[in-house]
A and B are shown apart, each in its own frame.
Chain A
Amino acid sequence: MVAPHPSGAAGAEPAARAERLERPEVGRRVPGPRPDLWARLPLGKVAVVALLLAAWEVLPAALHANPLLFPRATTVLRVWVRGIESGEILTYAERSLAVLVLGMALGVVGAFLLAVLALFTRAGRDFLDVMTSMFNPLPAIALFPLALLWFGLGIKSLLFVLIHATIWPMALSVFTGFATVPRTLVLVGRNFGLRGWPLAAAIYFPAALPAIVTGLRIAWAFAWRTLIAAELVFGVIGGQGGLGWYIYLKRYYLETPAVFAGLATIVLIGLLVEHGIFRTIEERTVRRWGMSL
């Protein structure tokens, strides 16, 4: 390390000197190595999980609980591993995710259309405003009975509530994202000769990305909960139930450890999507660019 500002050696150009000194440090910091994966592991949280599991293991016996109603952690783990190995749980999870991805994709496309309408027309803005405030207090699952009446017991009803769960929060985020793109950046893009779609792709879209990612995250959380609830409460959909249906079945046959295993799978998928997908996207984009909301 070079000692900064050797005393008594005041330069003729202090500003230039200061910048020359800071240069190598900043230059090295930016492309610097990623922190070690182990060092980033949240040890405190791991400890909490371990404690919870230990408590779960001893609690049923301590409470003299009926193992049929409250199985031990290791029992659940065994059932879960068996369910994974046999492919049973994965099959159900796959069905849930397939419906979810389709529903979210439709909802996201619709959200972009609504957001664009809202950006360019007064009516579109009013529409988005009214719809989002109206549906905000209404859980998407509450529309499911209606969907069943309209579309019957099938994937259409599920898609209906999934689109509904996704489209409003997503449209609002996308709209906000595009509406708050810094004016200066738009001027810069136009100054370089960009207009229309190229301007949207080069300036508006990346500038709105933080809001878009946030919207996707909220939409995912809503959609995932809605889907599981729909499967749980209304049972099999078109003969091909997902994870919610799996839990429903296992409860019916009183296979309580499998009910827990189903719940654990739902939690795991949630964590995986949150950390594996959204955190990664954020770290590679919004955080690296210093654009946090």
Chain B
Amino acid sequence: MAIAAHDTLIEASRVSIQFTTAAGVVEAVRDVSFQVRRGEKFVLLGPSGCGKSTLLKAVAGFVRPTAGTLLFEGREAREPGADRILIFQEFDQLLPWKTVLGNVQFALRVAARLPADALSQRARAYIRLVGLEGFERAYPHTLSGSMKQRVALARSLALDPEVLLMDEPFGSLDALTRLHMQNELGRIWREHRKTILFVTHSIQEAILIGHRIMVMTPRPGRVREILDNTAADAGPDSPEFVQMQGRLRGLLGLGDRGHEE
């Protein structure tokens, strides 16, 4: 097998996605092409409604492209599977009737079919990884928003998927907690080198997280540009970071002094 083929995990070629509703046809994304390499953090950045979530759901196998091809490991992603795990923005993605440990174990039991003792050990290890040791027996409704997102992260990582599909996972957190979670994600990525496809509409977050950033146009979402990003290592106050910010603002049509939501 060629090395190049091995390196590409997700390959979208001229993907268009339309929804047919009672009100008519909505074109979410048009003619989108990009490739996500194994082990990288790839960020989708674009204004609200440009089809970022739709693209993520297409990779996850919940939505079929109307045109074009979307390949995952060289095959079309027609069905959802535990090799591509979605993490949502909403805090309601944990099963409320299961504890923190129960949630992680549930995923492992269903998707990985591990024996019971291995299951519990693995689940605890990942709960520790996201810093929630001591909360194994807590029910989700007793946790804060960021703790819930950590559980979702632990549950997803425990399954050892090929890619994490993160749909604004920190979008509902306050600025401080959000920054903390972004750092945590960085730490976890350095430990596990998991491929991450990350959706955001925050420029700052895109720069902090992405190895590469794909900027999308307003609906119907098209690719404006795909940028390499190394500004994260330089830090948010570095000239490199500020310059990247300016570039992304320009691409999003916000102007130099545009505000972020």
Q: Give A residues with C-beta under 8 Å from B.
A: 13-16, 19, 22-24, 26-27, 29-31, 182, 184-185, 187-194, 198, 202-203, 206-207, 209, 285, 288-291
User: Which residues on the A side are within 8 Å of B142 (C-beta)?
Assistant: 26, 29-30, 290
Find out whether the CB atom of A188 lies under 8 angstroms from the CB atom of B141. Answer: no
Q: Is the CB of B97 within 8 A of A289?
A: yes
A188 to B134, CA, bound (A): 25
Alpha-carbon distance between A173 and B110 when the two chains are bound, in angstroms? 29
Complex CA gap A194/B106 in Å reads 11
Q: CB-CB contacts of B89-130 with A at 8 A, as 1s and 0s?
A: 010110111000000001100110000000000000000000
A24: B residues at CB distance < 8 A: 134
What's the minimum C-beta distance from A33 to chain B, rounded to whole angstroms? 14
| Known A-B contacts A191-B60, A290-B141; A16 and B80 likewise in contact (beta carbons under 8 Å) | no
How many B residues touch A, CB cutoff 8 Å? Answer: 37
4 further A-B contacts with Cβ under 8 Å, apart from A19-B147, A202-B110, A290-B142, are A16-B180, A23-B134, A191-B81, A289-B96
A–B pairs, 6, beta carbons within 8 Å:
A16-B180, A27-B138, A184-B93, A202-B110, A207-B96, A289-B141
Determine whether the beta carbon of B180 is less than 8 Å from that of A290: no
Using Cβ atoms and an 8 Å threshold, which residues of chain B touch A291?
96-97, 141
Give chain A residues whose Cβ lies under 8 Å from the Cβ of B82. 191-193
CB < 8 Å neighbour of B110 from A22, A187, A194 = A194
Of residues 141 to 176 in B, which have CB atoms within 8 Å of A's CB atoms? 141-144, 146-147, 159, 176
| B111 neighbours in A (Cβ, 8 Å) | 192-193
CB-CB under 8 A from A15, the residues of chain B are 146, 176-177, 179-180
Contact status of A30 and B138, CB under 8 A, knowing A191-B85, A192-B82, A192-B111: yes
CA separation between A13 and B142, bound complex, in Å? 23
- The answer for the CA separation of A128 and B224 in the assembled complex, in Å, is 51
Q: Does B140 contact A (CB under 8 A)?
A: yes
Which 7 pairs show the lowest CB-CB distances between chains A and B? A290-B141, A15-B180, A27-B134, A192-B111, A192-B110, A30-B138, A289-B96
Give the number of A-B contacts (CB < 8 Å).
Answer: 90
A80 to B155, CA, bound (A): 58
Contact residues of A: prevailing secondary structure = helix
- Smallest CB gap from B111: residue in A: A192
Residue of B nearest to A188 (CB): B93
User: Chain B: which residue is nearest A199 at the CB level?
Assistant: B110
Cα(A202)–Cα(B81), bound, Å:
16
Residues of A near B134 (CB, < 8 A) are 23-24, 27
Cβ of B42 under 8 Å from chain A? no
> Which residues on A sit within 8 Å (CB–CB) of B19?
none
Task: List residues of chain A with CB within 8 A of the CB of B72.
Answer: none
- A289-B139, A290-B142, A291-B96 known; A193 and B110 CB under 8 Å? yes
A194→B88 CA distance, assembly (Å): 18
With a CB–CB cut-off of 8 A, which chain A residues contact B147?
Answer: 19
| Contact residues in A for B92 (Cβ distance below 8 Å) | 182, 184-185
